């Protein structure tokens, strides 16, 4: 048995994206001690990669009501209306406070905020920073806003929640550099582990995003919600079938148009909003052309000063040999965002005492069946603040739980590539009822107990634990997809 070190850390946050940093920076205002553990380096997260921006009803012709309606419409009205109302009505003040703390969003020559446009928004309401470098700028500002009360431990992979009988008292983690295992004992444990993008072969997501949070929460007895709703982004830079990063929807908001090899505009008769239709609609159309063997491009020839407006997209294209000057960027859809996750209130409360969830790993129901573009950075900021306020007003007392490590060991596992290929085949952009059932059976062959229960994480290497988490999350998604009878939003059944 390997030796386990113990650390007591009051408030523990797993992950270092916008959800985690938003909670941390708010808690700093109350001098709370916080420990953040993260799998890679601190900026390795989807938040740093975000391009388009943050949606907020701050422009003169906008209102929380309009933002509410667009969010509900994109989510096919399966959204939790109260959560949406909280998000859109708190948003303006949260963004103004963030600006006051030092965040610089792009402004016009008169000093007014610039508002960009993205799919399914009826008006321009996306604030951005550094053109399409919004995510990185936001993460850097949040890191500047935290004080020495917050300790960030890097290369520390959470393996298993320390949980029993509906209570959580921290997490077991392993340092990928030293191999040292630590039991972080906490009064309050916050899951901020992001989405599931790496379950698919083509994704916009960071390499660390393998669905660990959902798998750990499931093993701890957490309720999960809406797992079947996975948003595919229509425009990943794709060359010879391989995806190399995202081409933000803001490019279409600025006048980019999807065309096929013959130059036909593919969204012309598909939806009244054409290229700015909701993401699921655009992704399905691009995918249908792709399956027919057609190449799809984003025609950017009408966008002036493209490289200045979209420095990140320009950089990704240059790095991978896509010539911006040709006026066409080759694109295909890729897994982007998970609407489902750990069932939580807008304050992050889950059904497990002492365990909270925030950001993409949480499912408050705010996104319904399909997230409105640029609502997720906003979710991290707004619900992160609500969670911090809740903890300040309701001090938590950790349960007395000793970590228990079962002896269950894993058998032969598939490779990550095999899991990704099965996810795309069985649970991709267009789904079929029989495939979803097949997927459940395929996953179950790799579960030692048939229900993806706890294993001996201490004597299992990190790569195998990631694979086990991917299998667990894939299996849970397959079961949720098979249970949802109607075809709706991102769960499109043919
Ligand atoms: C390319 C791209 C562009 C996007 N553009 C936009 C946009 O313009 N606007 C918008 O609103 N949204 C955008 N999104 C979505 C948005 O960025 C994410 O939904 C949001 O950043 C999620 O924040 P988070 O804090 O929940 O998770 P993340 O930022 O993904 O952070 C999760 C953290 O958890 C860590 N972690 C995972 N597993 C473990 C583990 N086992 N142990 C320890 N740590 C772990 C990860 O390493 C990471 O640090 C974009 C996403 C991508 C990928």
Q: Give the pLDDT confidence score for residue 119 in this predicted structure.
A: 87
Domains plus CATH for the chain? 1-229+339-405 (3.50.50.60), 233-334 (3.90.700.10)
Measured in Å, residue 265 CA sits from the centre of ligand 1 at 32
Q: Choose which residue among 184, 194, 457, 460 to substitute to test ligand 1 binding: the one with the highest number of ligand atoms within 8 A of its C-beta.
A: 194
Atom of ligand 1 nearest to the CA of 22: 25
Atom of ligand 1 nearest to the CA of 377: 11
Measured from CB, residues less than 6 Å from any atom of ligand 1 are 14-20, 37-40, 44-47, 49-54, 134-135, 157-158, 192-194, 204-205, 208-209, 212, 246, 337, 359-361, 374-377, 380
Measured in Å, residue 153 CA sits from the centre of ligand 1 at 17
Q: Give the pLDDT confidence score for residue 11 in this predicted structure.
A: 98
The single-letter DSSP state of residue 295 is -
Q: Give the pLDDT confidence score for residue 367 in this predicted structure.
A: 98
Tens-digit pLDDT profile for the chain (494 aa)?
678 999 999 999 999 999 999 999 999 999 999 999 999 999 999 999 999 999 999 999 999 999 999 999 999 999 999 999 999 999 999 999 999 999 999 999 999 999 998 888 999 999 999 999 999 999 999 999 999 999 999 999 999 999 999 999 999 999 999 999 999 999 999 999 999 999 999 999 999 999 999 999 999 999 999 999 999 999 999 998 889 999 998 899 999 999 999 999 999 999 999 999 988 899 999 999 988 999 999 999 999 999 999 999 999 999 999 999 999 999 999 999 999 999 999 999 999 999 999 999 999 999 999 999 999 999 999 999 999 999 999 999 999 999 999 999 999 999 999 999 999 999 999 999 999 999 999 999 999 999 999 999 999 999 999 999 999 999 999 999 999 999 999 999 99
Q: Give the pLDDT confidence score for residue 1 in this predicted structure.
A: 61
The question of whether 174 is a catalytic residue gets the answer no
Measured in Å, residue 117 CA sits from the centre of ligand 1 at 21
pTM above 0.85, yes or no: yes
In the set 279, 284, 371, 431, the catalytic residue is: 279
Q: Give the pLDDT confidence score for residue 278 in this predicted structure.
A: 84
Measured in Å, residue 194 CA sits from the centre of ligand 1 at 5
Q: Choose which residue among 12, 17, 379, 380 to substitute to test ligand 1 binding: the one with the highest number of ligand atoms within 8 A of its C-beta.
A: 17
Q: Choose which residue among 50, 172, 199, 378 to substitute to test ligand 1 binding: the one with the highest number of ligand atoms within 8 A of its C-beta.
A: 50
- Which residue puts its alpha carbon closest to atom 2 of ligand 1? 50
- Which residue puts its alpha carbon closest to atom 41 of ligand 1? 158
- Which residue puts its alpha carbon closest to atom 31 of ligand 1? 17
Measured in Å, residue 47 CA sits from the centre of ligand 1 at 4
């Amino acid at each position: 048995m390997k030796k386990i070190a113990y650390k007591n850390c009051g408030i523990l946050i797993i992950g270092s994206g916008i959800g985690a940093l938003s909670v941390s920076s708010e808690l700093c205002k109350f001098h709370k001690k916080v420990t953040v553990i993260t799998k890679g380096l601190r900026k390795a997260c989807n938040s740093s990669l975000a391009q388009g921006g943050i949606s907020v009803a701050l422009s003169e012709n906008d209102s929380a009501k309009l933002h509410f309606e667009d969010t509900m419409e994109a989510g096919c009205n399966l959204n939790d209306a109260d959560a949406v109302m909280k998000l859109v009505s708190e948003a303006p003040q949260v963004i103004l406070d963030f600006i006051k703390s030092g965040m610089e969003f792009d402004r016009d020559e008169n000093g007014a905020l610039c508002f960009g446009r993205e799919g399914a928004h009826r008006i321009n309401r996306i604030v951005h920073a550094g053109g399409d470098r919004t995510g990185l700028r936001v993460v850097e500002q949040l890191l500047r806003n935290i004080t020495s009360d917050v300790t960030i431990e890097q290369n520390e992979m959470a393996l298993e929640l320390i949980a029993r009988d509906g209570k959580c008292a921290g997490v077991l983690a392993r340092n990928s550099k030293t191999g040292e295992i630590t039991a972080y004992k906490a009064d309050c444990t916050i899951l901020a582990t992001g989405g599931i993008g790496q379950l698919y072969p083509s994704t916009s997501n960071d390499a660390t995003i393998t669905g660990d949070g959902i798998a750990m929460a499931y093993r701890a007895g957490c309720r999960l919600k809406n797992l079947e709703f996975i948003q595919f982004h229509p425009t990943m830079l794709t060359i010879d079938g391989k995806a190399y990063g995202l081409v933000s929807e803001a490019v279409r908001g600025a006048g980019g148009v999807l065309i096929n090899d013959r130059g036909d505009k593919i969204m012309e008769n598909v939806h009244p909003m054409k290229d700015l239709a909701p993401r699921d609609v655009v992704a399905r159309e691009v995918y249908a052309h792709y399956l027919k063997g057609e190449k799809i491009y984003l025609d950017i020839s009408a966008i002036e000063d493209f490289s200045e407006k979209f420095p990140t997209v320009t950089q990704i294209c240059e790095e991978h040999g896509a010539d911006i000057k040709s006026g066409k960027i080759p694109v295909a859809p890729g897994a982007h965002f998970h609407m489902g996750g750990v069932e939580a209130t807008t304050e992050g409360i889950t059904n497990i005492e002492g365990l909270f969830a925030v950001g993409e790993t949480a499912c408050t129901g705010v996104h319904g069946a399909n997230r409105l573009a640029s609502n997720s950075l906003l979710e991290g900021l707004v619900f992160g603040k609500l969670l911090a306020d809740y903890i300040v007003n309701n001090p938590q007392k950790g349960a007395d739980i000793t970590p228990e490590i079962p002896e269950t060991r894993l058998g032969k596992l598939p490779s990550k590539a095999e899991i990704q290929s099965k996810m795309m085949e069985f649970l991709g952009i267009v789904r079929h009822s029989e495939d979803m059932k097949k997927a459940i059976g395929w996953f179950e062959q790799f579960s030692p107990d048939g229900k993806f229960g706890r294993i001996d994480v201490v004597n299992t290497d990190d790569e195998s634990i990631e694979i086990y988490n991917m299998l667990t999350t894939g299996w849970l998604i397959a079961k949720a997809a098979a249970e949802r009878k109607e075809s709706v939003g991102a769960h499109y059944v043919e």
